[in-house]
Amino acid sequence: MYYSEARFLEMNMTQTTKTVRIALLVLAAALAGAAGAEAKNRSHPFEIALRFIPGDGIASSTPELPSGVTDRPVRLTVTDGRSDPADIGESSDDDDKMWPAHATNDVTSWAHDALQKTVTGWDVKLADNAPLSLTVKLTALKLEESNKAVGSTFHAEVKLAATLKNAKGGVLWDGTAFGDATRYGKSRSEENANEVLSDALIEAAADLIGNEDLQGAWAGNGSPHAAAPSSSSAATAPDAARVTPSALLAELVKLKKQGFDTDLLVDYVNKKTLTAALSSDDLVKWKQAGMPEAVIKAALER
Protein backbone atom coordinates (compact mmCIF):
# COMPACT_ATOMS: atom_id res chain seq x y z
CA MET A 1 0.00 0.00 0.00
CA TYR A 2 1.36 3.40 -0.92
CA TYR A 3 1.26 6.30 1.52
CA SER A 4 1.96 9.88 0.69
CA GLU A 5 4.88 11.54 2.46
CA ALA A 6 2.52 13.70 4.52
CA ARG A 7 0.46 10.68 5.55
CA PHE A 8 3.62 8.78 6.43
CA LEU A 9 4.83 11.63 8.67
CA GLU A 10 1.42 11.87 10.31
CA MET A 11 1.44 8.15 11.11
CA ASN A 12 4.95 8.37 12.60
CA MET A 13 3.99 11.38 14.74
CA THR A 14 0.89 9.55 16.00
CA GLN A 15 2.97 6.51 16.92
CA THR A 16 5.57 8.72 18.67
CA THR A 17 2.84 10.46 20.66
CA LYS A 18 1.48 7.12 21.80
CA THR A 19 4.96 5.96 22.80
CA VAL A 20 5.57 9.14 24.80
CA ARG A 21 2.20 8.80 26.54
CA ILE A 22 2.93 5.22 27.48
CA ALA A 23 6.36 6.20 28.78
CA LEU A 24 4.87 9.01 30.87
CA LEU A 25 2.25 6.66 32.31
CA VAL A 26 4.93 4.14 33.22
CA LEU A 27 7.03 6.88 34.82
CA ALA A 28 4.05 8.23 36.76
CA ALA A 29 3.24 4.76 38.04
CA ALA A 30 6.85 4.24 39.08
CA LEU A 31 6.95 7.58 40.90
CA ALA A 32 3.65 6.84 42.61
CA GLY A 33 4.97 3.47 43.69
CA ALA A 34 8.16 5.01 44.98
CA ALA A 35 6.21 7.70 46.86
CA GLY A 36 3.96 5.06 48.34
CA ALA A 37 6.93 2.97 49.38
CA GLU A 38 8.61 6.02 50.93
CA ALA A 39 5.45 6.96 52.82
CA LYS A 40 5.13 3.39 54.08
CA ASN A 41 8.79 3.48 55.11
CA ARG A 42 8.10 6.54 57.28
CA SER A 43 5.05 5.02 58.96
CA HIS A 44 6.95 3.12 61.66
CA PRO A 45 9.69 3.82 64.24
CA PHE A 46 12.97 5.19 62.90
CA GLU A 47 15.65 2.59 63.68
CA ILE A 48 19.20 3.99 63.73
CA ALA A 49 22.54 2.24 64.12
CA LEU A 50 24.59 4.97 65.78
CA ARG A 51 27.90 5.88 64.14
CA PHE A 52 30.25 8.81 64.67
CA ILE A 53 30.09 10.92 61.48
CA PRO A 54 31.24 14.51 62.14
CA GLY A 55 30.17 17.16 59.65
CA ASP A 56 32.66 19.01 57.46
CA GLY A 57 32.24 22.37 59.19
CA ILE A 58 32.44 21.15 62.79
CA ALA A 59 36.14 22.04 63.11
CA SER A 60 35.07 25.55 64.12
CA SER A 61 33.94 24.09 67.47
CA THR A 62 37.51 23.33 68.57
CA PRO A 63 38.06 24.99 71.98
CA GLU A 64 41.24 26.80 72.99
CA LEU A 65 43.00 24.67 75.61
CA PRO A 66 45.85 25.86 77.87
CA SER A 67 48.95 23.74 78.30
CA GLY A 68 47.85 22.93 81.85
CA VAL A 69 45.03 20.89 80.31
CA THR A 70 46.80 19.26 77.37
CA ASP A 71 49.82 18.34 79.55
CA ARG A 72 47.78 16.54 82.24
CA PRO A 73 46.25 13.18 81.24
CA VAL A 74 42.76 12.32 82.39
CA ARG A 75 40.76 9.12 82.70
CA LEU A 76 37.51 9.43 80.73
CA THR A 77 34.36 7.62 81.82
CA VAL A 78 30.99 7.96 80.09
CA THR A 79 27.66 6.94 81.61
CA ASP A 80 24.07 7.20 80.45
CA GLY A 81 21.72 9.07 82.77
CA ARG A 82 18.63 8.88 80.55
CA SER A 83 15.58 6.83 81.53
CA ASP A 84 15.32 4.91 78.25
CA PRO A 85 18.70 4.03 76.70
CA ALA A 86 17.20 3.18 73.29
CA ASP A 87 15.06 6.30 72.96
CA ILE A 88 16.93 8.96 70.95
CA GLY A 89 14.10 11.15 69.62
CA GLU A 90 11.28 11.14 67.10
CA SER A 91 10.45 11.35 63.41
CA SER A 92 7.36 12.63 61.58
CA ASP A 93 5.59 11.04 58.61
CA ASP A 94 3.58 12.62 55.75
CA ASP A 95 0.59 13.12 58.06
CA ASP A 96 2.77 14.83 60.69
CA LYS A 97 2.32 11.85 62.98
CA MET A 98 5.31 11.41 65.27
CA TRP A 99 7.15 8.11 65.44
CA PRO A 100 9.88 7.27 67.96
CA ALA A 101 13.52 7.11 66.91
CA HIS A 102 15.40 4.18 68.43
CA ALA A 103 19.09 3.32 68.62
CA THR A 104 19.82 -0.26 67.60
CA ASN A 105 23.23 -0.31 69.30
CA ASP A 106 24.63 0.79 72.67
CA VAL A 107 24.38 4.57 73.09
CA THR A 108 26.95 4.73 75.91
CA SER A 109 29.62 2.98 73.82
CA TRP A 110 28.86 5.30 70.89
CA ALA A 111 29.12 8.39 73.09
CA HIS A 112 32.34 7.19 74.73
CA ASP A 113 34.04 6.44 71.41
CA ALA A 114 32.83 9.73 69.92
CA LEU A 115 34.02 11.80 72.91
CA GLN A 116 37.33 9.96 72.98
CA LYS A 117 38.00 10.67 69.30
CA THR A 118 36.87 14.27 69.70
CA VAL A 119 38.93 15.30 72.72
CA THR A 120 42.08 13.46 71.63
CA GLY A 121 41.75 15.39 68.39
CA TRP A 122 42.00 18.52 70.57
CA ASP A 123 45.29 17.23 72.06
CA VAL A 124 43.70 16.06 75.32
CA LYS A 125 45.64 13.08 76.68
CA LEU A 126 43.59 10.12 77.94
CA ALA A 127 44.99 7.38 80.15
CA ASP A 128 43.31 4.67 82.23
CA ASN A 129 45.81 5.18 85.08
CA ALA A 130 45.67 9.00 85.09
CA PRO A 131 45.35 10.66 88.53
CA LEU A 132 42.59 12.92 87.20
CA SER A 133 39.25 11.40 86.25
CA LEU A 134 36.54 13.03 84.14
CA THR A 135 33.15 11.35 84.37
CA VAL A 136 30.69 12.48 81.72
CA LYS A 137 27.02 11.59 82.06
CA LEU A 138 24.77 11.75 79.01
CA THR A 139 21.62 13.42 80.35
CA ALA A 140 19.88 14.13 77.03
CA LEU A 141 20.23 12.86 73.47
CA LYS A 142 17.36 13.96 71.27
CA LEU A 143 16.92 13.76 67.52
CA GLU A 144 14.01 15.45 65.75
CA GLU A 145 13.41 14.61 62.10
CA SER A 146 10.77 16.85 60.52
CA ASN A 147 9.48 15.48 57.24
CA LYS A 148 9.21 18.03 54.41
CA ALA A 149 7.73 17.93 50.90
CA VAL A 150 11.15 16.81 49.70
CA GLY A 151 13.58 15.39 52.24
CA SER A 152 13.70 16.20 55.95
CA THR A 153 15.19 18.63 58.46
CA PHE A 154 17.25 16.97 61.18
CA HIS A 155 17.86 18.66 64.55
CA ALA A 156 19.74 17.15 67.48
CA GLU A 157 20.40 18.24 71.06
CA VAL A 158 22.90 16.76 73.51
CA LYS A 159 23.22 17.58 77.21
CA LEU A 160 26.08 16.44 79.41
CA ALA A 161 26.78 16.53 83.15
CA ALA A 162 30.44 16.12 84.09
CA THR A 163 32.58 15.77 87.22
CA LEU A 164 36.36 16.17 87.47
CA LYS A 165 37.99 14.38 90.42
CA ASN A 166 41.54 14.08 91.73
CA ALA A 167 43.37 10.88 92.64
CA LYS A 168 41.77 10.85 96.12
CA GLY A 169 38.27 11.17 94.73
CA GLY A 170 37.88 14.82 95.65
CA VAL A 171 35.59 16.79 93.35
CA LEU A 172 37.55 19.54 91.63
CA TRP A 173 34.74 20.69 89.35
CA ASP A 174 31.27 19.71 88.26
CA GLY A 175 28.93 21.27 85.75
CA THR A 176 26.88 20.83 82.61
CA ALA A 177 27.30 21.34 78.87
CA PHE A 178 25.01 21.61 75.87
CA GLY A 179 25.32 21.19 72.13
CA ASP A 180 22.94 21.23 69.18
CA ALA A 181 23.06 20.94 65.40
CA THR A 182 20.69 21.18 62.45
CA ARG A 183 20.96 20.04 58.85
CA TYR A 184 18.79 19.22 55.84
CA GLY A 185 18.91 15.72 54.39
CA LYS A 186 17.08 12.75 52.97
CA SER A 187 13.97 11.38 54.61
CA ARG A 188 14.71 8.67 57.19
CA SER A 189 18.42 8.85 56.42
CA GLU A 190 20.56 7.06 59.02
CA GLU A 191 23.62 8.89 57.71
CA ASN A 192 22.04 12.33 58.08
CA ALA A 193 20.76 11.41 61.55
CA ASN A 194 24.23 10.27 62.60
CA GLU A 195 25.82 13.41 61.20
CA VAL A 196 23.58 15.76 63.18
CA LEU A 197 23.84 13.68 66.38
CA SER A 198 27.64 13.60 66.04
CA ASP A 199 27.84 17.35 65.48
CA ALA A 200 25.63 18.05 68.50
CA LEU A 201 27.82 15.82 70.67
CA ILE A 202 30.95 17.63 69.45
CA GLU A 203 29.35 20.98 70.27
CA ALA A 204 28.54 19.73 73.77
CA ALA A 205 32.10 18.45 74.19
CA ALA A 206 33.47 21.84 73.11
CA ASP A 207 31.16 23.57 75.57
CA LEU A 208 32.41 21.24 78.30
CA ILE A 209 36.16 21.21 77.63
CA GLY A 210 36.14 24.92 76.81
CA ASN A 211 34.73 25.80 80.24
CA GLU A 212 37.29 28.07 81.96
CA ASP A 213 36.46 26.84 85.46
CA LEU A 214 36.97 23.24 84.38
CA GLN A 215 40.25 24.16 82.69
CA GLY A 216 41.46 25.89 85.85
CA ALA A 217 40.65 22.89 88.03
CA TRP A 218 42.18 20.56 85.45
CA ALA A 219 45.40 22.58 85.38
CA GLY A 220 45.64 22.46 89.16
CA ASN A 221 44.48 25.99 89.92
CA GLY A 222 42.19 25.55 92.90
CA SER A 223 41.16 23.04 95.52
CA PRO A 224 38.42 20.41 95.72
CA HIS A 225 34.90 21.89 95.51
CA ALA A 226 36.35 25.30 94.61
CA ALA A 227 34.29 25.49 91.44
CA ALA A 228 31.03 24.37 93.03
CA PRO A 229 28.70 26.84 94.77
CA SER A 230 28.51 26.45 98.55
CA SER A 231 25.56 24.61 100.08
CA SER A 232 24.51 27.76 101.96
CA SER A 233 24.40 29.90 98.81
CA ALA A 234 22.57 27.15 96.96
CA ALA A 235 19.98 27.01 99.73
CA THR A 236 19.43 30.77 99.81
CA ALA A 237 19.51 31.35 96.06
CA PRO A 238 18.39 28.19 94.23
CA ASP A 239 17.50 30.12 91.08
CA ALA A 240 21.01 31.55 90.69
CA ALA A 241 22.29 28.28 89.23
CA ARG A 242 25.50 28.39 87.25
CA VAL A 243 24.92 27.58 83.61
CA THR A 244 27.00 27.73 80.45
CA PRO A 245 26.08 30.26 77.76
CA SER A 246 24.98 27.46 75.44
CA ALA A 247 22.81 25.83 78.10
CA LEU A 248 21.15 29.15 78.94
CA LEU A 249 20.50 29.85 75.27
CA ALA A 250 18.82 26.44 74.91
CA GLU A 251 16.54 27.23 77.86
CA LEU A 252 15.68 30.65 76.45
CA VAL A 253 14.88 29.24 73.01
CA LYS A 254 12.40 26.84 74.60
CA LEU A 255 10.76 29.62 76.59
CA LYS A 256 10.59 31.88 73.53
CA LYS A 257 8.91 29.11 71.52
CA GLN A 258 6.26 28.91 74.25
CA GLY A 259 5.44 32.60 73.78
CA PHE A 260 7.26 34.22 76.70
CA ASP A 261 7.92 37.90 75.97
CA THR A 262 11.21 39.81 76.17
CA ASP A 263 10.66 41.14 79.71
CA LEU A 264 10.12 37.66 81.11
CA LEU A 265 13.16 36.34 79.26
CA VAL A 266 15.28 39.14 80.72
CA ASP A 267 13.99 38.34 84.21
CA TYR A 268 14.88 34.69 83.66
CA VAL A 269 18.42 35.62 82.59
CA ASN A 270 18.87 37.89 85.60
CA LYS A 271 18.29 34.92 87.92
CA LYS A 272 21.13 32.95 86.34
CA THR A 273 24.91 33.04 86.71
CA LEU A 274 26.96 32.25 83.62
CA THR A 275 30.04 30.08 83.97
CA ALA A 276 31.81 32.18 81.33
CA ALA A 277 31.31 35.49 79.57
CA LEU A 278 29.61 35.46 76.19
CA SER A 279 32.20 35.14 73.42
CA SER A 280 31.83 36.59 69.94
CA ASP A 281 30.72 33.15 68.72
CA ASP A 282 28.12 33.06 71.50
CA LEU A 283 26.80 36.46 70.48
CA VAL A 284 26.39 35.27 66.89
CA LYS A 285 24.57 32.12 68.04
CA TRP A 286 22.24 34.11 70.30
CA LYS A 287 21.47 36.55 67.49
CA GLN A 288 20.83 33.73 65.01
CA ALA A 289 18.52 32.08 67.56
CA GLY A 290 16.36 35.23 67.51
CA MET A 291 17.17 36.47 71.01
CA PRO A 292 16.15 40.14 71.51
CA GLU A 293 18.96 42.61 72.19
CA ALA A 294 17.63 43.24 75.72
CA VAL A 295 18.05 39.54 76.52
CA ILE A 296 21.57 39.46 75.11
CA LYS A 297 22.53 42.59 77.08
CA ALA A 298 21.19 40.98 80.26
CA ALA A 299 23.27 37.88 79.60
CA LEU A 300 26.39 39.98 79.03
CA GLU A 301 25.99 41.32 82.56
CA ARG A 302 25.73 37.85 84.13
Question: How far apart (Å, rounded) are the C-alpha atoms in residues 274 and 272?
Answer: 6
For the cut 70, the answer to whether the pLDDT of residue 232 exceeds it is no
Q: Do 260 and 122 fall into the same domain?
A: no
The per-residue pLDDT for range 35-45, each reduced to its tens digit, is 454 444 556 88
Query: What is the pLDDT at residue 229?
Result: 41
| Residue 7 forms part of a structural domain | yes
Which of 74-83, 191-200, 293-302 is predicted with the least confidence, judged by mean pLDDT?
Answer: 293-302
Residues 59 and 208 in one domain: yes
CA distances from 76 to 45, 73, 79, 164, 244 (A): 33, 10, 10, 10, 21
pLDDT at position 223 is: 54
The tens digit of pLDDT for each residue in 250-274 reads 888 888 877 778 888 888 888 888 8
The reply to whether 38 and 51 lie within a common domain is no
Q: Is 107 found in the same domain as 195?
A: yes
**Same domain for 57 and 180?**
yes
With respect to residue 225, please indicate whether it lies within any of the assigned structural domains.
no
Confirm whether 223 is domain-assigned. Answer: no
CATH code at 163?
A: 3.40.50
Q: What's the number of domains the chain is made of?
A: 3
What is the rounded average pLDDT of the residues 64-81? Answer: 93
296 in any annotated domain: yes
Over residues 142-158, the pLDDT tens digits come to 999 988 878 889 999 99
254 plus 191 within the same structural domain = no
**DSSP bridge pairs for 144:** 90, 155
Which residues are 242's β-sheet partners?
273
| Same domain, residue pair 78 and 169 | yes
Q: What is the pLDDT of residue 149?
A: 79
Q: How confident is the model at residue 282 (pLDDT cuts 50, 70, 90)?
A: confident
Q: Are residues 145 and 199 in the same domain?
A: yes
CB atoms within 10 A of CB 116: 15
- The reply to whether 72 falls in a domain is yes
For residue 173, the surrounding DSSP H or E stretch is strand 171-185
Same domain, 79 and 211: yes
Q: pTM here?
A: 0.64
Q: Are residues 194 and 77 in the same domain?
A: yes
Domain boundary among 218, 252, 272: 218
> pLDDT tier at 95 (50, 70, 90 boundaries)?
confident
pLDDT at 302 over 70: yes
Residues 80 and 199 in one domain: yes
Indicate if the pLDDT at residue 209 is higher than 90.
yes
pLDDT for 5? 58
Q: Are residues 200 and 274 in the same domain?
A: no
Identify whether 258 is part of a domain.
yes
| Containing structural domain, residue 203 | 47-218
Amino acid at 216: G
Residue 53, C-beta contacts closer than 8 angstroms, at least 6 positions apart: 191, 194, 195, 198
How is residue 220 annotated by DSSP? T
